[in-house]
Structure 1
Amino acid sequence: MKPASSNRILKYLQGYPEHLQSQVRTLIDEQRLAEYLANRYGGQHSIQSDKALYSYVNSLKQENLRSAPQVDKVLFDNRLDLTHRALGLHTAVSRVQGGKLKAKKEIRIASLFKDAAPEFLEMIVVHELAHLKEHDHNKAFYKLCTYMLPDYHQREFDLRVYLTAKEVGQI
């Protein structure tokens, strides 16, 4: 008889090869998903306010994307969640000021990242910062992400494992 989750659809990992999905299913069956994540990402960051998040985002931007447009507003957003398939959001709010059109750049990060490992917060911030230069999820976008964060793809995969662990109640 097959384990309970052998046919489970892992919605956050659907784009990954079957052998990786199978490994995650095994960790679910053995109740070891949280242990896997804790071994790789044991800590929690101290960024809990919008002001601290703004400072963090701007320091990463200064370090990696000095020529990108200034970010005017950064905040944790309670309305962003997994049901909307958005963990972060970048927007440009356009306003007319004195006959000129001004676009203010905003980055919103899902509030679930307040309790996540610092590596996951960094990954989602890098993702949103990359959108300042590249709007689409294309080759240039991911090249920019890996320029800012060399292990970007591993962290993105592990973030998806983290979301899966939350979904199956192992975190």
Structure 2
Amino acid sequence: MSTLKYLTGYPAETINQVQQVITDERLSEILRKKYPQCHSVRTDKQLYEFTVALKNQFMSKAQPLSRAQYDSKIKVIQHALGQHHYITRVQGNKTKTVNEIKIASVFRIAPEAFLKMIVVHELAHFREKEHNKSFYQLCRHMEPNYHQYEFDLRLYLTHLDLYGELYS
């Protein structure tokens, strides 16, 4: 079932249900019904503003965000939807810290729920570096539907592999 590479680790029953949806050619219909339109966050500036708004709402005391941008070099195949970079540089007697978030450019055209889920995931790394229980609790605090959006995003990626773009 190479078509379901984004669903590895899910129970066999779930994978079988998704395979049936694909066989019945209903994946596009289901995704369009649940997520009828894509977001309007197209530029790096808009992505930065979107990310800062979420950070300020849920993590106002965390380190400041230096940059947020779309990155065409991130390969979704390698299980990276986005990346968080925390860099500390010493310049003379001053320490400069840079926090940046990069989102795979494939998500420039995607439902807002998916973009939010990815941004929330990367923001959670500001506090929790590892994918542990605290990390996912923080993700769910910022986005209560985090796990559902993550699963649906995996369906969306499967759709992109099988049929191409869902939105134009």
- State the TM-score, normalizing by the size of structure 2: 0.93
Q: Secondary structure at the match of 1:74?
A: strand
Shift of the alpha carbon at 1:8?
Answer: 5.0
Give 1:54's match in structure 2, choosing from 39, 48, 62: 48
8 Å CA contact 1:8–1:25 kept in 2: the answer is no
Give 2:153's aligned residue: 159
Task: Let me know the Cα RMSD of the aligned residues.
Answer: 1.3
8 Å CA contact 1:92–1:104 kept in 2: the answer is yes
Q: Secondary structure at the match of 1:133?
A: coil
Give 1:24's match in structure 2, choosing from 18, 28, 40: 18
Residues 1:72 and 2:66 aligned together: yes
Per-residue CA deviation, residues 104-144 of structure 1 (Å, 9 max, x unaligned), is 00100010111101110000000000000000000000000
Take 1:47 and 1:40, find their aligned partners in 2: how far apart are those partners?
19
Give 2:91's match in structure 1, choosing from 83, 92, 97: 97
Amino acid at match of 1:89: Q
8 Å CA contact 1:71–1:104 kept in 2: the answer is yes
Number of corresponding residues: 165
Give 2:116's aligned residue: 122
For structure 1, list consecutive stretches of 5 or more residues without a partner in the other structure. Answer: 1-6
Give 1:37's aligned residue: 31
Shift of the alpha carbon at 1:9?
Answer: 5.6
* Identity fraction in percent: 45
Stretches (4+) displaced over 4 A: none
Take 2:65 and 2:98, find their aligned partners in 1: how far apart are those partners?
7
- State the TM-score, normalizing by the size of structure 1: 0.92
